[in-house]
Amino acid sequence: MFTGKTAIVTGGGSGIGRAIVRAMAQRNAHLILVDVNLESIETVAQEVRPLGKGKVLVRRADVSNSKEVQKVVEDVLSAFGRIDILINNAGITGPPAPLTEVTEEDWDEVMKVDLKSVFIFCKAVIGHMTEKKSGKIINISSFAGKAGNPYWVPYSAAKAGVINLSRTMALGVATQGINVNCVCAGTTLTPMLRRLSDEQIEGLKRGIPMGRLAQPEETAAVVCFLASDEASYITGQCINVTGGRGYE
């Protein structure tokens, strides 16, 4: 599906990001994994290299730092001569707390990683994509960006921003052969979630119409579809992968 195409994936070291990397590797994409945690993405790179025919490179970078992001983009263009797909997956939740206990430092850190990084990376690749009149950008948001969460205030606000930023960018490049879409991930069985007790996980399931948590691979499959030529007429959308939660 992605033979000969080059994809940048941020935050690919675990959870949904790791599943996206695996799925794209199996479809023969050339991959560049970007994360501030070099060890995690090196581990994933070693894991996925045997899965497909594409090359897999890693780059350590702070995705909210424009100079570091620009260096990654320059490295990718030097190595492959093209950027076909950008998947902005990197994100943090921040400490759970009601609004009155959220510090400015907590707010700024979540906004920097979850929202500012999307703006910076998209801005860094959009010129190249516009020049070649093609490209796919998929930004990972969350159901919290639509429904809100009183204990994840900065995270909910940032993910809402990702949704509207995606729609706004899509309108701006709709005639340039570039598709920009967003995936709204539901409660997913990731290493972070496995820290919760069985009782807490059961409580989460009760709020999901399908009665179960998402597997990371289910979100990865939607990302791969949106990154493919089969989604050529889809742009400016936020696709819910939420087990029936129908937030608009």
Active site residue 155: yes
DSSP state of 134: -
**Region class of 95: left (phi > 0), else alpha (psi between -120 and 50), else beta:** beta
Contact 107, 168 (CB under 8 A): no
CA distances from residue 41 to 4, 26, 44, 49 in whole angstroms, order as listed: 22, 17, 5, 12
Q: Determine the 3-state secondary structure of 141 from DSSP.
A: strand
Helix (H, G, I), strand (E, B) or coil at 108: helix
Residues with Cβ within 8 Å of residue 117, at least 6 apart in sequence: 10, 63, 64, 69, 88, 90
Q: Residue count of the chain, please give it.
A: 248
Give the angle 171-126-12 at the CA atoms, nearest 5°.
Answer: 105
**Catalytic one among 151, 155, 233, 247?**
155
Tell me the catalytic residues. 155
